[in-house]
Structure 1
Amino acid sequence: MGQMIEITAKDGGRFNAYLALPASGKGPGVVIGQEIFGVNANMRAVADNYAEEGYVALVPDLFWRLEPGIELGYDEQAFAKAIDLFKRFDIDKGIEDIAATVDTLRQRDEVEHAGIGFVGFCLGGKLAYLTATRTDVSCSVGYYGMGIEDLLDEAANIKGRLVLHFAADDGYCPADAREKIKAGLAKLPKAEIYVYPGVDHAFARVGGMHYDKPAALMAHERTVAAFKKEIGPNFDLSALWEQHVLEEFGNRDVPATMATMVAEPYVNHIPTMTGGVGYAELSRFYQHHFVHGNPPDMKLVPISRTIGALQIVDEFILSFTHTTEIDWMLPGVEPTGKQVQIPMIGVIKFRGDKLCHEHIYWDQASVLVQVGLLDPQGLPVAGAETAHKLLDESQPSNRLMKRWQDSEGR
């Protein structure tokens, strides 16, 4: 997605940086601080991801003074080489090079906001803290930075937002070091510190031995939320979702539906594991098993909507008459003609101004009861009553609890 550009250092030297642009060609600027393995394929992929989030992302080669253009893998030999580079790396010069990168990014025509963000990993995590103390970035985010507890005398210089992500099992930054950092930053109004239990150093490195997807997703969402507070971009997620739903259910237009999504989206209907991963599979699913196969009277009634930095959580009631075979909800079940009302939850995540994924939840037992495939007698399940009670909370509770009457008057 990106290209290499050249940056002039404060002392006159020149070094390369990987530049990735959002689909729109413009957006706020974010500098990305490398790990000790150089600007390798992993760091370029990180930049591409931030570009898809709507940022003009720039990854400077911070090892250029030692070995320009170094790209290392993660085997034992590469790790030894990376440690050697790390030991010889001049932190102060590195921050000067980051400052030069910030200036270069701010001057580019593609950057729409005067404020610049920084996010760094491993070595870059430590540099994130120092970037916050020694430059004018609006928001700096560090992942599992090492040695920050020894640099807290610089904390008073921080004027922007600082977000630090730590792994609870990280031997490079143990609990006592994290406590010192928390105490040293406690008085800063825009300092956020997050510790992720049960994970180790480099938990956000995709494909790494310590990669932990849940922790990485949480940290990324918090990172982008912090950037949005300070530099944007701010999209109307509700309007974007409404447009997707209109194309999907109103116009039943598969190409238009796919156009509202990222290049490689995915949809997961949790109870039946239907949907698709990637453009080709999801487009096939929408075309042949979803958009044109839903009953003509299918309707969504919104109940509530919660909008976050990167996602929407929708609560709604889906109703339909089972007049067609619904592959995604009742695969292999012939139409029964039954009426169905079911509460549903949709977790819709965005990357930039496009939908990234949908996680859709409902009570499959309730659906089966309503179409006559499951006898609720003696089972702790209910039919359309679940939807009725969501709309009218005065409907009786606890009818499935045989011992409910035993507690009356107690």
Structure 2
Amino acid sequence: MSQTTIKTEWIDVTAEDGKTFKAYQALPPKGKGPGIVLIQEIFGVNAHIRGVAEQYAMDGYTVIAPDMFWREEAGVELGYDGDDWKEAVAHKNALDFPTAVSDLRAATKALRASPACDGPVASVGYCLGGVLSYLCGLDAGVDAAICYYAGGVTEHLGRADELKVPTQFHFGAEDDHIPLEHVEQTREAFTGRDDVEVHLYDNAEHGFNCWARASYNQHASALAHGHTLTFLASRTQ
């Protein structure tokens, strides 16, 4: 029976070490579509990230958003200020990136194996998730990587020549966490690559895509979402 709306649920994913963790799944109205592994900010798979998963599901994608902090504390869901901010930073600092990429590789494999996924699988990540999305392009077996305000990605640009999948970066010109110098370093690392895009949005701050934050910028968010969908449609066939 065909679906008339998206369907959401928490699913179990088996990690490479045999343990299991949760991921929020959003299925498109047709019940299946190309895959997106959606990677959270430092605030967990909170209401906003679940909303983004549902947004991409309405665009026709089968989306899973894995809980990236589960090894330390499962089900982290935080706001953006005060003690929540401090707790989010602590979780980020405690995250082991190689282990996180291993878990994302498991999530990618699980999504590919799902009957609800009938096309390529891309990673889309925000902030912390933006860096992890880039690493997914290197090590997790995705077909494309989308990276929003990926602070710290410059630490991994030494591996730029190893990146073999189409990749797109989104930065805000007024981001006080990511210097414009780092944006230019990212652009320069992929000079001559027509399958790598770097977009910079005027008047946009860190977190410009998050409608739950004071830094939300509707114009930049809409442009970036459009660029993302165009990139996914044209680069993942």
TM range (shorter): over 0.9
Distance in 2 (CA, whole Å) between partners of 1:156 and 1:98 is 21
Query: What TM-score do you get using the length of structure 2 for normalisation?
Result: 0.95
- Cα pair 1:136 1:160 within 8 Å, conserved: no
Q: Is 1:69 aligned with 2:75?
A: yes
Q: Is 1:158 aligned with 2:163?
A: yes
Distance in 2 (CA, whole Å) between partners of 1:187 and 1:13 is 41
Instruction: State which structure, 1 or 2, has the greater radius of gyration over its C-alpha atoms.
Output: 1
Aligned to 1:29: 35
- 1:113-262 alignment runs, 5 A limit: 113=119, 115-231=120-236
Distance in 1 (CA, whole Å) between partners of 2:172 and 2:117 is 32
Structure 1 consecutive aligned stretches of length 4 or more whose deviation exceeds 3 Å: none
- Structure number with the higher helix fraction is 2
Deviation at 1:150, TM superposition (A): 1.7
Distance in 1 (CA, whole Å) between partners of 2:193 and 2:135 is 15
Aligned to 1:262: none
From 80, 90, 93, the equivalent of 1:87 is: 93
Aligned AA (2:184): E
Q: RMSD in angstroms over aligned alpha carbons?
A: 1.0
- Cα pair 1:116 1:137 within 8 Å, conserved: yes
- Cα pair 1:35 1:124 within 8 Å, conserved: yes
- Cα pair 1:139 1:226 within 8 Å, conserved: no
Query: What TM-score do you get using the length of structure 1 for normalisation?
Result: 0.55
Aligned AA (1:98): L
Q: Whose RCO is larger (CA < 8 A, sep 6+)?
A: 2
From 15, 20, 23, the equivalent of 2:21 is: 15
Gaps of 5+ in 1: 233-410
- Cα pair 2:144 2:165 within 8 Å, conserved: yes
What are the Cα deviations for residues 173-204 of structure 1, in whole angstroms up to 9, with x where unaligned?
A: 10111111111111323100001111110000
Q: Secondary structure at the match of 2:79?
A: coil
Distance in 1 (CA, whole Å) between partners of 2:146 and 2:37 is 10
Aligned AA (2:224): A
Distance in 2 (CA, whole Å) between partners of 1:182 and 1:165 is 11
- The aligned length equals 231
Gaps of 5+ in 2: 1-6
Aligned to 2:118: 112
- Cα pair 1:34 1:43 within 8 Å, conserved: yes
Distance in 2 (CA, whole Å) between partners of 1:147 and 1:35 is 13
